Structure 1
Amino acid sequence: MADDILKAFGISARQSGVSTGKHWLEAGGEDIVSVSPVDNKTIATVRSADRSNYDAVIAVAQEAFKEWRQWPAPRRGDIVRQIGEALRAHKEQLGRLVSYEMGKSLQEGYGEVQEMIDICDFAVGLSRQLYGLSMHSERPGHRMYEQWHPLGITAIISAFNFPVAVWSWNSMLAWVCGNVCIWKPSEKTPVTALACQRIVETVFAANNVPEGVCCLVTGGRETGEWMANDHRVPLVSATGSTRMGKSVGAAVGARLGRSLLELGGNNAIIVSKDADLDMTLIGAVFGAVGTAGQRCTSTRRLIIHESVYDAFTAKLVKAYAQLRIGNPLDEKNHVGPLIDKDAVNAYLNTIAQVKEQGGSFLVEGGVLEGAGYESGCYVKPCIAAVENTYAIVQHETFAPILYVMKYQTLTEAIAMQNDVPQGLSSAIMTLNLREAEQFLSAAGSDCGIANVNIGTSGAEIGGAFGGEKETGGGRESGSDSWKAYMRRQTNTINYSDKLPLAQGIKFDL
């Protein structure tokens, strides 16, 4: 399995994880061993960057930016179009690699690559729509307008749960905007990054793209700290835990740089008495167990009207009994493994805390053992009846643990949903128009994403993706998220033969 995938992308079982987009440098850092949570087998060993490697990549990227920013945006867009075509050609292989290295189901692996293809298509159109505004001047014979220019180096720190898609959200937009990118992938999923780097390098070489536009620097926390503290990097886009995001944000802010943070979620679905319960079941179960609960948009909490609580939780329990847990490359399975043993320990610790704090389980959890579960990373999705005020419920655990609780009024339900530190994704299931509009109003959900009659998980690339509060406030992907990768410039042109001052100020000589 692993050998076939590595061969398809020209990846060695042991190789450097540092690339300038044209040359793979001799990495001087520590080895990162990628082990699949599916079967506990080693996929490849990747040598990480040391500080000299990092500085060398930065220098190449700085030089590349001087040329790349002058390429017309539609020409840059055509390069991204070709990347999309290359991803289409490699969708099956790359999707399998994503599934095998990260552990998500094969369908989700394919879906992640499709998301990359979709953002390429979006970015191609965007390359002809980097619009500025034209404004009327108060001074005669003057014209005012604003335009957008690229920032320079965009550093991308991605997480293991979407090892390639979130990188593409950032890089494709950054490239059409005229930036160059340096990617630090998660040390838990470095091989998928190597594969993407190989794909992009082939496209770039065929189009004589300057070396340094697409760079890869594998490493751990220290590498991310280099990026966060580097004044040569105007924008750091980081996806991960709230703890990590606070560290990155503080470091970048201290040097007055820009950060784009996509952090934790503690997402809830409100299940109204007027909900279509059958439809709600699909959204709730996929949201809770998809990617084994390791999405930032995973459904963590169900806030259920007391009148339908018993009926809906009975449906949930029955649905959970039908879940198939196992090798994610087998398309019959719904749920794959957690990423590693640390994630398993966090899952078990959370279950213990739920019990200590007074919760009870409608569906018990536990670690699966026996044939097919030798990696020790397969766990049972579980359902716990809790109160929203429990300390553990306020915390995000990256695992398939679903909390259920009751409410009486919609105002109470919205308050419960908002009463957590995170603010990423939210949803209400209702056929009542008034409830839907109240949920979407300024007095409703405080999250960056608020849905009606769909779950919290599975955002499309056309809309801006991101959240509020401890989720970081960043926006990636669609809408006008491209503005995060550019600097705004206001221009005034005087085409008259006089120099009047604004605000009617007189300054005669």
Structure 2
Amino acid sequence: MSAVCALGTRRLLRQLRSGPPAAAAAAAMLRRYSLDVSAPLLRTQGYVDGRWVSAASAFPVLDPATGQEIARVSDCGPAEAKQAVDAAYTAFQSWKRSTAKERSVLLRKWFDLLLLHKEDLAKLITFECGKPLRESLGEVAYSASFLEWFSEEARRVYGDLVPAPAKDRKILLLKQPVGVASIITPWNFPSAMITRKVGAALAAGCTVVVKPAEDTPLSALALAELAEQAGIPAGVFNVVPCSREKTPSVGEVLCTDPLVAKISFTGSTATGKVLLKMAADTVKKASMELGGHAPFIVFDSADLDKAVGGAMASKFRNSGQTCVCSNRFLVQSGIYDRFVERLGQAMDAELRVGHGSEPDTTQGPLINTKAAEKVVQQISDAVSQGAKVLKGGKRLHGSFMEPTLLADVTTDMLCTKEETFGPLVPVIRFNTEEEALAVANAANVGLAGYFYSQDVSQIWRVAEELEVGMVGVNEGLLSTPEASFGGVKQSGLGREGSKYGIDEYLEVKYMCFGGLKA
């Protein structure tokens, strides 16, 4: 209750009378919410070599909506990380020899268990990262879909028989697992990021060590519990939770240990660069899914209803805290005023701030007060340079933020230069297609991009010209296990999901058979 005490009960009670959304945020912080999850899934120890292990100390996991402590989790350090790597390396010697069908069956069992326990997993996600329960249920379904997908892809890892240049030779290209993979995941989609990476790795025949985000270890440990129930062998899947203070030392082990062959990281571009430097000394294979700064372009020819619906879906999931959230809204002059008006109306009608466990909540808190302060800074900077606040604009209690709509935004403002990770919609007016593309492509990152148009020729031009790894054409939600996920420029390396996702955990071995009789 430290956050509540710091704000003061009297102040909160005054805010309760000030009306929504401040009232909902205040109520969320005053009330005590109880996490009701089946005992086997609420794990608080690390998971190494098929055993639940305690560390010398523990760190608190807090509900970002209230500041209340949910649980205390074992604070693993470099020693536990090394034990996990060693266990994974030992397990790899037998796991790599398992058949594709055996791996497929186990992943399918894990998938079935996720769906069976979807309500409990969703509650863990909501209490850890603050997102509404409906979104958390959607994340669990999305998480499970990767296990289903890679259970199927495990049986489709094909090599090649290549026509040889000589009659006495045969050329075979064989795909083999790289080895132990270190997987470092973010807090905003804790379950989905793990299954997307671990599903691919295990399907390929790799073993893994997962370091979950400091804010969201409980959902990762619940996944480990279900993996154990599914029969995934000891050492194949290991989870090493740790505090923010121990993250650098644990990360160093996972990125430098010579027994680790591959690292997969989702997080900020700045952190990704640090991890790549650490991995370079042993030339590890690396996948990096880093920062985004997604443009959302609305051309004059767009279907206005669809564009507004797409903007709402793309921007306000998890209160704007996803790497593929739209960050810069570029709207052509002919439709600008109507789009802004309709978007404001949709925000009023559809968005409700509150604790994620409340059934009407669509907007939970940001992950911490620092995240809220960043959004406030971007709003203040924009207003100081002439932007108009049409909706919201205020920080509420703790890390709650009002969903905010800004008009008359320019490319000189912070909100158009850096990723927000919050419920802020800055709208820039443009006149020509060339102008929009220049603004959209000016960023040094390129993860996702979205645009709305009914001009077929324009659709092809813009889709090809946008410098991003994923494009939503008249669509605001594009993630699916069947499609590749990843970016260009400083948004990262490699692809996750799709048939290409498993390739990130495979090496191609060339085998030349010579001296054969024709």
1:325 aligns with 2:348: no
Shift of 1:357: 3.9
Distance 1:400 1:469, change over 3 A: same
Counterpart of 2:189? Answer: 162
Shift of 1:8: 5.0
Distance 1:21 1:402, change over 3 A: farther
CA distance in 2, matches of 1:353, 1:10: 42
Q: Secondary structure of the equivalent of 1:464? A: coil
Counterpart of 2:24? Answer: none
Could you list the per-position Cα deviations for residues 72-100 of structure 1 after superposition, in whole angstroms to 9, with x for gaps in the alignment?
01111110000001001001111121112
Larger mean CA deviation between 250-259 and 124-133 belongs to: 250-259
Which residue among 468, 475, 478 is the counterpart of 1:454?
475
Which residue among 322, 330, 345 is the counterpart of 1:295?
322
Which residue among 489, 497, 500 is the counterpart of 2:509?
489
1:468 aligns with 2:473: no
Shift of 1:268: 1.2
Q: Which runs of 5+ in 1 are unaligned?
A: 370-375, 499-509
Q: Secondary structure of the equivalent of 1:4? A: coil
Counterpart of 1:251? Answer: 278
CA distance in 2, matches of 1:476, 1:51: 28
Which residue among 176, 196, 215 is the counterpart of 2:203?
176
Counterpart of 2:36? Answer: 4
Counterpart of 2:48? Answer: 20
Counterpart of 2:445? Answer: 422
TM-score, reference length from structure 2: 0.89
CA distance in 1, matches of 2:40, 2:478: 29
1:397 aligns with 2:417: no
Could you list the per-position Cα deviations for residues 210-244 of structure 1 after superposition, in whole angstroms to 9, with x for gaps in the alignment?
32101011122321222122222111100111111
Larger mean CA deviation between 426-435 and 227-236 belongs to: 227-236
Counterpart of 1:409? Answer: 432
Distance 1:467 1:345, change over 3 A: same
Spell out the pairing of 1:301-450 with structure 2 (5 A cutoff).
Answer: 301-322=328-349, 323-369=351-397, 376-385=398-407, 386-441=409-464, 444-450=465-471
Larger mean CA deviation between 329-338 and 233-242 belongs to: 329-338
Spell out the pairing of 1:222-301 with structure 2 (5 A cutoff).
Answer: 222-301=249-328
Could you list the per-position Cα deviations for residues 398-423 of structure 1 after superposition, in whole angstroms to 9, with x for gaps in the alignment?
11111111111112211211111220
4+ residue runs over 6 A deviation: none
Aligned residues: 480
CA distance in 2, matches of 1:144, 1:408: 56
Which residue among 231, 235, 241 is the counterpart of 1:212?
235
- Asked whether the equivalents of residues 229 and 252 of structure 1 are also in contact (C-alpha less than 8 Å), the reply is yes
- Asked whether the equivalents of residues 426 and 445 of structure 1 are also in contact (C-alpha less than 8 Å), the reply is yes
- Asked whether the equivalents of residues 423 and 446 of structure 1 are also in contact (C-alpha less than 8 Å), the reply is yes
Which amino acid counterpart does residue 241 of structure 1 have in structure 2? S
Could you list the per-position Cα deviations for residues 313-350 of structure 1 after superposition, in whole angstroms to 9, with x for gaps in the alignment?
11112222222111222232221111111211222222
Distance 1:452 1:378, change over 3 A: same
CA distance in 1, matches of 2:79, 2:144: 34
- Asked whether the equivalents of residues 273 and 305 of structure 1 are also in contact (C-alpha less than 8 Å), the reply is yes
- Asked whether the equivalents of residues 180 and 259 of structure 2 are also in contact (C-alpha less than 8 Å), the reply is yes
- Asked whether the equivalents of residues 464 and 476 of structure 1 are also in contact (C-alpha less than 8 Å), the reply is yes
Shift of 1:262: 0.6
- Asked whether the equivalents of residues 35 and 127 of structure 2 are also in contact (C-alpha less than 8 Å), the reply is no
Could you list the per-position Cα deviations for residues 257-316 of structure 1 after superposition, in whole angstroms to 9, with x for gaps in the alignment?
121101111111110111000111111012111100100011111111101101111111
Choose between structure 1 and 2: higher helix proportion. Answer: 2
- Asked whether the equivalents of residues 381 and 413 of structure 2 are also in contact (C-alpha less than 8 Å), the reply is no
- Asked whether the equivalents of residues 426 and 451 of structure 1 are also in contact (C-alpha less than 8 Å), the reply is yes
Counterpart of 1:372? Answer: none
- Asked whether the equivalents of residues 21 and 216 of structure 1 are also in contact (C-alpha less than 8 Å), the reply is no
- Asked whether the equivalents of residues 40 and 225 of structure 2 are also in contact (C-alpha less than 8 Å), the reply is no
CA distance in 2, matches of 1:142, 1:357: 70
CA distance in 2, matches of 1:21, 1:56: 8
CA distance in 2, matches of 1:407, 1:355: 19
CA distance in 2, matches of 1:419, 1:10: 45
1:145 aligns with 2:145: no
CA distance in 1, matches of 2:313, 2:40: 31
Counterpart of 1:126? Answer: 153
Counterpart of 1:57? Answer: 84
Q: Secondary structure of the equivalent of 1:128? A: helix
Q: Secondary structure of the equivalent of 2:52? A: coil
- Asked whether the equivalents of residues 21 and 201 of structure 1 are also in contact (C-alpha less than 8 Å), the reply is no
Shift of 1:2: 4.5
- Asked whether the equivalents of residues 21 and 197 of structure 1 are also in contact (C-alpha less than 8 Å), the reply is no
Distance 1:437 1:23, change over 3 A: same
Counterpart of 1:503? Answer: none
CA distance in 2, matches of 1:332, 1:377: 19
CA distance in 2, matches of 1:357, 1:147: 59
Distance 1:10 1:388, change over 3 A: closer
CA distance in 2, matches of 1:242, 1:161: 16
Counterpart of 1:81? Answer: 108
- Asked whether the equivalents of residues 209 and 238 of structure 2 are also in contact (C-alpha less than 8 Å), the reply is yes
Counterpart of 2:223? Answer: 196
Could you list the per-position Cα deviations for residues 442-471 of structure 1 after superposition, in whole angstroms to 9, with x for gaps in the alignment?
xx111000121001x441111110111121
- Asked whether the equivalents of residues 157 and 175 of structure 2 are also in contact (C-alpha less than 8 Å), the reply is yes
CA distance in 2, matches of 1:203, 1:93: 17
RMSD: 1.6
Could you list the per-position Cα deviations for residues 455-492 of structure 1 after superposition, in whole angstroms to 9, with x for gaps in the alignment?
1x441111110111121133111131211101111111
Counterpart of 2:9? Answer: none
- Asked whether the equivalents of residues 379 and 415 of structure 2 are also in contact (C-alpha less than 8 Å), the reply is no
Which residue among 67, 70, 94 is the counterpart of 1:67?
94
Which amino acid counterpart does residue 127 of structure 2 have in structure 1? Y
Distance 1:299 1:10, change over 3 A: closer
